[in-house]
Structure 1
Amino acid sequence: MLFDIIFYIVPIFIFIISITIIIKGISQWKYNNSQPTLMVSAKLISKRANVSTTMHNHPDGVGTHFDSSTSYYLTFEVEGGSRLEFHVGGHEFGLLVEGDTGKLKFQGTRYLGFDRQ
């Protein structure tokens, strides 16, 4: 009986989580598209990288394999003291230095670029 419950509940649970993630992504995309594209004076005040590592055991039971991925974030301070953090690619992350000033271009939560002055 426990097996029957797990056999039916776990796939339903996974399906609900998947649908929730998809709906959240679509609503964020729609929100960003409905926002105006803004270009404001800003200063890069912080850079951070988040490294995630996953361990996989080989099917034959001999050894393990590690996968890692890095997410990059930039935090800008705009006029008035507000701070905005954006998820960016590694290339953009590498080009900028804390303390850079310039024009930040964004749309909602979507980072569109930074032109250094």
Structure 2
Amino acid sequence: MVSGFDGFGPSPFGGAGDFMFSAVPVFIGIIFVAVIIMLIVNGAKYVKNATSTRESTFVRIVSKRMDVRHHSNMNDHNNFSSSHTYYYITLEFENGERKEYLDVKNLYGLVAEGDEGYAAIQGDWIVAFERSIPRQDERSTRY
């Protein structure tokens, strides 16, 4: 018997047919495992932050930034595009240390760089901010 494609003659893919039929399932399996690992890692980060104790400390807001991530899927039948914006706020503590936190409570538009007050921090998240208003004798006389 001549080697061929299930006995119906030579493979229409040449020698590549056997490779494709063996490599594609492996490739799909690798992608599946990678997606599962990403879900586990992101889920673990969420659980870590959600179960962390909430701490309140006096801080100064030194910067804010946005991270816009775009996703698109275009094929012959559908064009799908979406984006998600992540908001980050960098805090400076009384000891001079700075750290960036993910804004999960929509504080980004309510605070400004230079604001001072008490921030509620939970893991890698900033969950509340209460601005401290200086007393009359502490206010700048520039105005």
TM-score, scaled relative to structure 2: 0.67
SS in structure 2 at match of 1:16 = helix
How does 1:1-117 map onto structure 2 within 5 Å? 1-33=18-50, 35-57=52-74, 59-60=76-77, 66-89=81-104, 91-117=106-132
Question: Which runs of no fewer than 5 residues in structure 1 stay unpaired?
Answer: none
What code does the residue aligned with 1:41 have? F
Following superposition, the deviation at residue 34 of structure 1 comes to 5.0
**Larger C-alpha radius of gyration, 1 or 2?**
2
Amino acid at match of 1:73: Y
Higher strand share: 1
Rounded Cα–Cα distance in structure 1 between residues aligned with 2:122 and 2:129: 13
Percentage identity across paired residues of the two chains: 25
Please report the RMSD computed on the Cα atoms of aligned residues, expressed in angstroms.
Answer: 2.4
Distance in 2 of aligned mates of 1:41 and 1:116: 10
- Shift, 1:86, TM fit: 1.4
Deviations 1:23-75 (A, max 9, x none): 212322343355332101001101111122344435259xx665333221111
Using a 3 Å threshold, how does the CA distance of structure 1 residues 94 and 37 change in structure 2: closer, same or farther?
same
Whole-angstrom CA distance in 1 between matches of 2:130 and 2:22 = 56
* Cα distance between partner residues in 1 of 2:31 and 2:19: 18
Structure 2 stretches lacking a partner, 5+ long = 1-17, 133-143
TM-score (norm 1): 0.79
Q: Distance in 1 between matches of 2:34 and 2:103?
A: 25
**In the alignment, is the contact (CA less than 8 A) between 1:72 and 1:93 conserved in 2?**
yes
Q: Which has the higher contact order (CA 8 A, sep 6+)?
A: 1
